[in-house]
């Protein structure tokens, strides 16, 4: 029931955002902006995205291979299938599916591969924290920003630059807090396993053994946290990865012939981090587009709205199409079905929810 509500809420949010952003669009002007684009720069943006696919695996290598030797091909397939799931399935199912694919292809316990995914997301947040920090450091608008007239029906007030910086700071501090919790969990892993068994054992001894085993495998998968060199390398690669994302955004803006401040990619990446973190429809349709347009308005309040909309549409396609094509190819090579993986992910969630209810 909770997942259905989440899916429904995401669909509603997506529909509302798409309607709000595109309701007064001059599509002739949008297509004119697309036709006038510099396709060499846009091709370069696609190249940066494809490069990011490889760099992601480089980052994950230091997490996974600090505990278990796994081939590049296995990690690549698991990651790209997970991204495909995030883009085409509701409720952000890509992360558990990435763990399921890696578990299937390597024979490792799911709880351990899920820990690999969790630590990878942790190092990913280091790169995002850098982006948010650069946004806070560089984004200082001289005056509050007023939305264009055709977008004021939902919000007619001003957007303060201070508000944007405070939001970025809040997200950054939240990530620091989560990182601290993960480190504490790892440092106290033996106690956590013991306490889990003791607590669940109050209700079921058989379930306690299973729960302790799952938590034990999870903490084993966190072994990179006990190897500062591997974790540090993963974080450094994460910084490089987010730098590649920023270059990709810069190339899209150049391709759309936009004259923007140098820090614009960091602002749009920050907006994306905020908007796609909330429940949304498959493909991030709506939240992705609003995030790009919001970032462009923040750095250039006088931007032509139809050019901004065209930029958002192209940026979304540049991100969506390679993920779908490479993800489908990986599904084919692994001889897996996305529907089957979705069902397995839902079963994992049901088992976890059932364990919580029994506890």
Lowest mean pLDDT among 235-244, 329-338, 350-359: 350-359
Of 215, 182, 189, which is closest to residue 109 (Cα–Cα)? 215
Cβ(110)–Cβ(100) below 8 Å: yes
Instruction: Look at residue 163 and tell me whether its pLDDT is greater than 70.
Output: no
- Report pLDDT for 345: 80
Of 126, 171, 120, which is closest to residue 274 (Cα–Cα)? 171
Total domain count, the chain: 1
Q: Which residues contact 134 (CB under 8 A, 6 or more apart)?
A: 263, 266
- Report pLDDT for 32: 96
How does pLDDT run across 105-137, given as a tens digit for each residue? 999 888 888 888 888 888 888 888 888 888 878
Could you give the C-alpha distances from 96 to 81, 264, 349, in angstroms and in order?
Answer: 11, 33, 9
Lowest mean pLDDT among 10-14, 166-170, 323-327, 337-341: 166-170
Lowest mean pLDDT among 63-77, 148-162, 318-332: 148-162
- Report pLDDT for 355: 46
How does pLDDT run across 231-285, given as a tens digit for each residue? 888 889 999 999 999 999 999 999 999 999 999 999 999 889 878 877 678 888 8
Cβ(75)–Cβ(61) below 8 Å: yes
- Report pLDDT for 170: 73
How does pLDDT run across 189-235, given as a tens digit for each residue? 677 667 676 676 666 666 666 666 556 556 655 666 667 788 888 88
26-42: b or e for each residue (b if 16 or more CB lie within 10 Å)? eeeebeebbeebeeebb
DSSP for 330-352?
HHHHHT--HHHHHHHHHHHHHHH
Lowest mean pLDDT among 50-64, 83-97, 213-227: 213-227
- Report pLDDT for 357: 46
Distance CA 232, CA 21 (A): 41
Q: Please report, rounded to a whole number, the percentage of residues in the chain having pLDDT higher than 70.
A: 73
- Alpha-carbon dihedral of residues 233, 268, 153, 9, nearest 10 degrees? -30
Could you give the C-alpha distances from 112 to 29, 50, 217, 315, in angstroms and in order?
Answer: 51, 28, 5, 35
How does pLDDT run across 165-174, given as a tens digit for each residue? 676 667 667 7
DSSP for 90-159?
STT-HHHHHHHHHHHHH---HHHHHHHHHHHHHHHHHHHHHHHHHHHHH---SS-EE--GGGTTT--SEE
Cβ(269)–Cβ(253) below 8 Å: no
Of 211, 213, 216, 218, which is closest to residue 190 (Cα–Cα)? 216
- Report pLDDT for 216: 59
Which range of residues forms the domain containing residue 73? 2-358
- Report pLDDT for 8: 77
Q: Which residues contact 176 (CB under 8 A, 6 or more apart)?
A: 129
Give the mean pLDDT of the chain. 82
Lowest mean pLDDT among 70-74, 221-225, 332-336: 221-225
How does pLDDT run across 2-39, given as a tens digit for each residue? 566 767 777 788 888 888 889 889 999 999 999 999 99
**Tokens 């614009």 — which residue?**
264
Q: Which residues pair with 335 in a beta bridge?
A: none
Cβ(130)–Cβ(258) below 8 Å: no
Distance CA 79, CA 56 (A): 8
Mean pLDDT of 58-66: 87
- Report pLDDT for 44: 98
Mean pLDDT of 156-183: 67
DSSP three-state, residue 71: coil
- Report pLDDT for 98: 92
Instruction: Look at residue 45 and tell me whether its pLDDT is greater than 70.
Output: yes
Mean pLDDT of 165-191: 69
How does pLDDT run across 234-245, given as a tens digit for each residue? 889 999 999 999
């Amino acid at each position: 029931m909770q997942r259905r509500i989440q899916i429904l809420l995401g669909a509603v949010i997506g529909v509302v955002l798409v309607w709000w952003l595109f309701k007064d669009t001059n599509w002739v002007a949008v297509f004119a902006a697309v036709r006038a684009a510099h396709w060499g720069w846009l091709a370069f943006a696609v190249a940066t995205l494809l490069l990011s696919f490889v760099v992601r695996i480089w980052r994950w290598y230091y997490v996974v291979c600090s505990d278990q030797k796994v081939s590049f091909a296995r990690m690549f397939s698991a990651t790209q299938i997970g991204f495909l799931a995030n883009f085409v399935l509701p409720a952000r199912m890509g992360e558990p599916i990435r763990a399921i694919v890696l578990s299937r292809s390597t024979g490792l316990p799911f709880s351990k591969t899920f820990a690999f995914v969790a630590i990878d997301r942790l190092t990913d947040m280091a790169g995002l924290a850098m982006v948010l920090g650069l946004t806070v450091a560089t984004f200082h608008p001289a005056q509050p920003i007023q939305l264009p007239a055709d977008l004021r029906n939902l919000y007619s007030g001003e957007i303060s630059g201070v508000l944007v910086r405070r939001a970025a700071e809040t997200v950054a501090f939240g990530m620091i807090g989560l990182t601290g919790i993960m480190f504490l969990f790892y440092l106290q892993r033996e106690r956590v396993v013991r306490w889990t068994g003791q607590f669940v054992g109050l209700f079921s001894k058989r379930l306690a053994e299973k729960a302790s085993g799952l938590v034990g495998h999870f903490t084993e998968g966190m072994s990179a946290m006990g190897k500062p060199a591997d974790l540090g390398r993963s974080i450094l690669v994460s910084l490089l990865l987010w730098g590649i994302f920023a270059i990709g955004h810069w190339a899209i803006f150049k391709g759309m012939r936009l004259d923007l401040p140098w820090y614009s990619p960091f602002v749009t990446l920050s907006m994306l981090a905020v908007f796609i973190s909330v429940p949304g429809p498959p493909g991030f349709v709506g939240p992705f587009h609003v995030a790009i347009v919001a970032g462009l308005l923040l750095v250039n309040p006088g931007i032509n709205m139809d050019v901004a909309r065209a930029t958002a549409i192209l940026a979304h396609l540049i991100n969506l199409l390679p993920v779908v094509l490479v993800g489908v190819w990986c599904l084919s090579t692994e001889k897996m079905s996305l529907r089957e993986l979705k069902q397995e992910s839902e079963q994992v969630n049901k088992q976890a929810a059932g364990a919580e209810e029994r506890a």
